[in-house]
Structure 1
Amino acid sequence: MASSLMSIPDHLKAEIFVRLPEPEDLARTSATCVTFRTLLADASFRRRLRLLHAPPLLGVLDRDGFQPALPPHPSAPAARALAQAADFSFSFLPSHRRWTVQDVRDGRVLLADDPEPQVYTELVVCDPLHRRYIVLPQVPYAVPTPMEYPDPVVHRRHLFIASPAPGDNGAAAAMEEVERAFIVVLIAHCQTGLAAFVFSSRTGQWRAAAPKGWSDLFTSKGESTLITSIHPKFVGRHYAYGCFYLESTIDNKFLVFDTRRMEFSILDVPREVSNMFGLAIVEAGEDRLGMFDIHTERITGKHGVRYYIRGNKGESSSQWKMEKTISLHYDYQYYIQASTERYLLLRKFGPLQVINSSPEMLKVEYVSMDIKTMQLETVCGISFGFSLASARIYTSFPPSLLSAPTL
C-alpha cells in the first residue's frame, strides 16, 4: 500500500490526507516516512486542514491545571498525548515570578505576574507544548489622553489573546508568518471610562486605542449615571470575527472591543435572554453572531440551552432571533463556562436532590457542545470548589502535527 501511495502525485496525496477524519490518523501518516511528513508540514496543507477541520477540544485549563478530555470524548486520545507531552505547570518560565493564566487560544497561553491589584508588571505568551515563551514589553499605561478623560487609575483589567482577524496581516504575508502571529489585548477599566492597548507579535509593540467614556458608551442619562456611580463590572470572555465581548453584570448588554477598528461599542441583547447562568457569543457563520443562554421554564422546571442568531437573511442586522433550544437533563444544573469559535463549555452540577442532603454524592463535570452539530459530550469530571470564571477551553492539534515552535 505504501508503494502504491508513493506513486500518486503529491497534490493528490494532499487531497487524500486532508480528508482523513481524525487528527490521530494524520499523526500516524506523518510518522510513516519523510515524504509524507514533509507534505503534511507544508504551510498550504496546514491552512486547508484548519479550514476543513476545527481544532479538537483537548481539555480545560482551570485553577487546578490542565484537565484533559477523557473517554468516551472523541478527543480523549489526542488529549492524553498532549497532557503527557506539554508542561502545564509552566516550569520553563522564569521561576522568580508567580504566573496566573489570563487567557488561552490556539494552543497558546497568556500569563501575567500580578503582585499589585492595579498593575501587571510582566506578561508572557507561552507554548506549553514546546516549552517556549515570549516576554511582552511593558504596557504603556502613560499614553496621552484627551482632557475630558483624565483618570489614569485602573480599577480592573481584562486580558485576551487571539490570532489576528482575517485581513490584518496583508494578502502578501507568508503563511508561516500568519500562523505564528498573535495579538494580546488589555482593556483597562477606569472610573470615568475604558482604555485599550493591543500588542502585535508582528511589530513587537503596543498600540493604544482611543479611550471611551461611560457617557459615550451608555447614551441614556440614567444608564450612564448608574454605570459611573457603581463601577460597572464585566465578566466572561468571548471572541468572534475579530471582536472581544464582555458581559455586563448590570443588564443584558455586552461590551465590545473591535481589534481591527480599535473601537469600543455596546451590544444589546433581547430582554427575554437570561444571564443568570451565563451567556456566550460565538460565530454563527456568514458573518452573523450567535448567542447562547440557559433558560428554565417556570411551570415545568425544564431547562435547556437557547441559541440565538443576530442578523438573519432578509432581516435587520440588529435583530436577534431564537433558532433552537437544546434540552438539558432535568435533574442537573448547568452553567455556561466558556466558548470558542466552535465549542461551548458548560459546567454541570447534580443530581439536584443530593446537593443539600448528600453533597459527597454530587457530580461536577465539564460538558462540551459542538456549535455546528449541537451535540453534548462529557469532557471530564472535576472538583467542586473552583470558581465558575476560572476555566478556559484548550484547543489545538495533536503534538505530532504541530510545526516547529509557533512563537
Structure 2
Amino acid sequence: MATPAPHFVDEILEEIFLRLPTPAELARASTTCPRFHRIITDRPFLRRFRKLHPPPLLGFVDGSRFLPVQAPHPSAPLARAFADAADFTYSFVPGCSRWVPCDARDGRVLLRGSITYSSTKLAVCDPLSRRYVLLPLIPKEMTAQQHCLADFGHKLATIGKDEDETSFKVVWTVLCGSKLMVFVYNSVTTEWSTSSSAFGVADPSWQNLGNLSRSSYLDGCFYWGSVWEDKLLVLDTRNMEFSTIDTGHIMQLVDLPGKTWCFSSAVDGTKGAVEMFTLVSGQDHAEPSFHLCHTIQQNNGESSDEWKLKSIIPLPLGFGYCTVDEAEGFMFLLRNRELQPAGYVEDLIISVEVKTSELKNLCGATRFHVDRGFHSYFGFPLSKPSL
C-alpha cells in the first residue's frame, strides 16, 4: 500500500484537531510532537478552530497586573500557565518608565504612557510574545485648532475580517469645544485620521458625559450607554460615522417597582440585533438588591417600541454590583461586600453569559483594581504573535 503524501496526512490531522472540544485539549495535543505543534499553531488552522470554538477567557488586565480566572472555571489551568509565560509588567516596551493598560483585545494590550493631550505616548503589545508597536504622535495640524475639554480614553478596535490578523486600530475619543471627536490610528497605513460627531454636546438632551469613558465594542462598533436619557451613541469604526439608537422604550421595560436604573451596556448576543443589559438596584428586606434586565432590539430598532424585554436576572442579595466590561458574549460585573467590624472589602469578578443568563465566579479583585479599570483578556496561547 502506498504511503499517503505528507500534505494529506496533515489535512487529516487538521480535521481531527478541529474536533477537539476545548482549547486546553488542543494545547495538550500541540505538545505531543513537533509535527502536531506545527499544524496546530499555523494561522489558517487556528482561524478555522476559532470559528468553531470561541477563544477562552484567561483573565483580566488591570492597572498593575494580570488577574487569571480561578478554579472551578474550566480555563483556570490554561490561565495559570498563560500568566506564568506572559509579561504583564510591560518592561519589554521602551519609551516610558511606566506603561498603564487602557484596553485589551485579540491578544493585544493597548498601553498609555502619559496624559498630555496631543502628545500622549501609546503602544500596542503582545504580552506573550513580547512584541510591540510604538504609535506615532498625533500630527500637530490635527490638534492645533482643537481645544480639548475632556479626554474619554483610548480603545482598541479590529480593522476587518479580511485584513491581516496582526492589524488593528486605536480610537481616541475627546470632547473638543461642543463636538465629540475621535482620532484613529490605523496600523496598516501607520497614520492618524480624525472624525467628529454631528451631535453638539451643548444640547441639553445630553446626560452624564462622564459615561463616555465606558463603552462596549461589538462587530466593529463602539456603543456608549447613558449619554442621553433615551438614546445610545454609536461609532462605526469601519466608516468612522456616528449615529444614535433610540432606547426610550428600554426605560419603560426596566422600570421595576422600587428599582433605580444604574447603567446600560450593549452586549454580544443575536447577530444583526443590538442587545442591552441594564443594571438596576433597589432594596429587598433592608438589603441591597440588584437585577440585570436583558432587552433586545427588534426590526433594526427604527422606533423605541421595537425593544423587547427578554429576561430579568436577579443577582445574589447582600452585595453591591457594578459593570466592568463586556466581550465575547459575556457581561462582567464586580461584586463587593463590606465585612464588619474590620471593614474589609471582599470583591469578586463574576460573569453573566448573554445566551444562558448563567452566573459564574471568576477571580478575586480589590477596589484598588477597580479604580484603574478591568479589561477582559480572551485568547489562544497557541497563536502566533498578534503583532
Unaligned runs of 5+ in 2: 1-5
For each residue in 1:135-191, what CA deviation from the matched residue of structure 2 results, as whole angstroms up to 9, or x when unmatched?
11112352399xxxx643352242111222446x3xxxxxxx2x1111111122112
Mapped pair 1:60 → 2:60? yes
Report % sequence identity. Answer: 34
SS at match of 1:197: strand
CA pair 292-115 structure 1, distance change in 2 beyond 3 A: closer
Partner of 2:383: 402
CA pair 141-72 structure 1, distance change in 2 beyond 3 A: farther
Partner of 2:219: 241
1:277·1:334 contact (CA, 8 Å) conserved in 2?
A: no
Mapped pair 1:378 → 2:377? no
For each residue in 1:196-237, what CA deviation from the matched residue of structure 2 results, as whole angstroms up to 9, or x when unmatched?
12212112112222x22543xx7xxxx714649x97652312
SS at match of 2:269: strand
- Within-5 A mapping of 1:289-304: 289-296=274-281, 302-304=289-291
Q: CA deviation at 1:333?
A: 2.2
- Within-5 A mapping of 1:222-371: 224-225=203-204, 227=206, 234-248=212-226, 251-269=229-247, 270-272=250-252, 273=254, 276-296=261-281, 302-311=289-298, 319-350=306-337, 355=339, 357-360=341-344, 362-371=345-354
Mapped pair 1:199 → 2:185? yes
SS at match of 2:203: helix
CA pair 114-55 structure 1, distance change in 2 beyond 3 A: same
For residues 75 and 392 of structure 1, the distance between their equivalents in structure 2, rounded to whole angstroms, comes to 17
Give the letter for the 1:112 counterpart.
Answer: R
For residues 104 and 153 of structure 1, the distance between their equivalents in structure 2, rounded to whole angstroms, comes to 25
SS at match of 2:39: helix
For residues 199 and 372 of structure 2, the distance between their equivalents in structure 1, rounded to whole angstroms, comes to 25
For each residue in 1:93-119, what CA deviation from the matched residue of structure 2 results, as whole angstroms up to 9, or x when unmatched?
126433221111111011112143x33
Q: CA deviation at 1:285?
A: 2.5
For residues 235 and 253 of structure 1, the distance between their equivalents in structure 2, rounded to whole angstroms, comes to 16
2:46·2:383 contact (CA, 8 Å) conserved in 1?
A: no
Give the letter for the 1:311 counterpart.
Answer: Q
SS at match of 1:48: helix
1:239·1:341 contact (CA, 8 Å) conserved in 2?
A: no
For residues 358 and 144 of structure 1, the distance between their equivalents in structure 2, rounded to whole angstroms, comes to 50
Partner of 1:190: 176
CA pair 95-262 structure 1, distance change in 2 beyond 3 A: closer
Partner of 1:160: 155
2:227·2:233 contact (CA, 8 Å) conserved in 1?
A: no
Q: CA deviation at 1:293?
A: 1.5
Mapped pair 1:94 → 2:94? yes
CA pair 335-205 structure 1, distance change in 2 beyond 3 A: same
Mapped pair 1:130 → 2:129? yes
For residues 112 and 144 of structure 1, the distance between their equivalents in structure 2, rounded to whole angstroms, comes to 19
1:232·1:250 contact (CA, 8 Å) conserved in 2?
A: no
2:225·2:266 contact (CA, 8 Å) conserved in 1?
A: no
CA pair 252-390 structure 1, distance change in 2 beyond 3 A: farther
CA pair 115-335 structure 1, distance change in 2 beyond 3 A: closer
Q: CA deviation at 1:363?
A: 1.9
Most deviating of 80-89 and 12-21: 12-21
For residues 232 and 378 of structure 1, the distance between their equivalents in structure 2, rounded to whole angstroms, comes to 29
For residues 7 and 97 of structure 1, the distance between their equivalents in structure 2, rounded to whole angstroms, comes to 48
Give the letter for the 2:14 counterpart.
Answer: A
Partner of 2:85: 85
CA pair 156-261 structure 1, distance change in 2 beyond 3 A: same
CA pair 304-153 structure 1, distance change in 2 beyond 3 A: closer
For residues 227 and 302 of structure 1, the distance between their equivalents in structure 2, rounded to whole angstroms, comes to 29
Most deviating of 250-259 and 80-89: 250-259
For residues 76 and 380 of structure 2, the distance between their equivalents in structure 1, rounded to whole angstroms, comes to 12
TM superposition score normalised by structure 1: 0.82
Most deviating of 265-274 and 74-83: 265-274
CA pair 344-144 structure 1, distance change in 2 beyond 3 A: closer
Partner of 2:3: none
SS at match of 2:182: strand
2:24·2:75 contact (CA, 8 Å) conserved in 1?
A: no
Q: CA deviation at 1:81?
A: 0.7
For residues 133 and 28 of structure 2, the distance between their equivalents in structure 1, rounded to whole angstroms, comes to 31
For residues 76 and 87 of structure 2, the distance between their equivalents in structure 1, rounded to whole angstroms, comes to 18
2:263·2:280 contact (CA, 8 Å) conserved in 1?
A: no
For residues 359 and 209 of structure 2, the distance between their equivalents in structure 1, rounded to whole angstroms, comes to 37
TM superposition score normalised by structure 2: 0.86
CA pair 298-101 structure 1, distance change in 2 beyond 3 A: same
For residues 183 and 25 of structure 1, the distance between their equivalents in structure 2, rounded to whole angstroms, comes to 32
SS at match of 2:170: strand
